[in-house]
Structure 1
Amino acid sequence: MSGIELKQQQIETTMRLAPVIPVVVIDDVRAAVPMARALVAGGTPAIEVTLRTSAALEAIRAIAAEVEGAMIGVGTVLSARDLKAAQQAGARFAVSPGVSPHLLDAADDSELPLLPGAATASEVMAMLERGYRHLKFFPAVPAGGHKLLGAWASPLPQVRFCPTGGISLASAPDFLALPNVICVGGSWLTPANLLANGDWPAIELLAREAAGLRKSG
């Protein structure tokens, strides 16, 4: 088995842990561990912490070290430097909003499995040529929503997606019902006000609601 095939298997396993991967923007490192514990307790153990704040890498490091059962990942990966920093922090998977040749080359050389983003059929085909069968569809709602993604199922049957971007608890079932969707990414599980207030029971409840959604086969 090639390196890309092994890493794609690892990505698929991560995608199948729960119907929703929480997508987190964290400003205060002190919130990282209790937040992650709440998400794991609620049944959403795969957690994507985005590199959109200065606290992100330290938060990933803390979760990786202290939260049992968490499958911690890094989001908004844009470069080889991001990929290396994420791996050093203890991330177990990486997610990018799109792709570039340099990022894909870096991913080939990294042990960290990558879930790359695509928004068009041409981008999906380019990813297939590089050996990627599991992709992020981003930004899901602005790019065409579940209708566009569903239209890809016949001409691109070998690809499975994690749509992310603008999805809510109410709209997630439309995506999860598609044959080419394994899970969705959602920021609604960790809203800024609950993080700021340290309302971990409320975050655990949101995670339980998300974990209760039905996945496609």
Structure 2
Amino acid sequence: MALTYWNAIRKWGLRETVRKMYMVGEINFGDFKGADSNGNKYYENRSKIYGTHRWVEYADCHNYDSSTVTPEWHGWLHNMHDTPPDQSADPKRHELTSSHDDCPYDTHVGPASAAPVLHQNLSGFRPRGYGVGNLFQKWGEPELYYKQPGHPANPISDKGGRFNTEPEVEFADPNNPTMLNPKKPLRSLDEL
């Protein structure tokens, strides 16, 4: 273990070794495969376990984010491609070369209408505050988002809804602790 750190310090120097430890959490030796437009560097070591043999060192070691990996390198990093993007063949070679097409549309999106149809998620129709509507409704309009039947803001709870009546509950009688003669049964004994 200590030999790995000494080899890393000899190869990269103390500062770069500490930066690599800070970024990845371990010292990885591998072949430099290339860099992307964001400045990220990509490495590979085939002697490591599959799945951990490719890694990226981000350009910004303090604010690194996986979304800075470009799509070309993402495929290589997740073993979708064997060759790095810098060494791969011409991408135009992989385009569709068929001359016959049975598709009724020119593009993959299908027929387009003049006016776009908006399908809004109704959970976003909540009011922003008391006396303030939202982007799609004015204040005082009925709320469109779903409320359960027992919710106090549900309109059916005010109109004789499910929880409007008093439930039939038999309370314990301190004068009759054994409850041998209850006032009424909780349910009919004929029911199953």
User: Which bin holds the TM-score, normalised by the shorter protein?
Assistant: under 0.3
Q: TM-score, structure 2 length as denominator?
A: 0.18
Q: TM-score, structure 1 length as denominator?
A: 0.17
More helix by share: 1
Higher relative contact order (CA 8 A, sep 6+): 1
More strand by share: 1
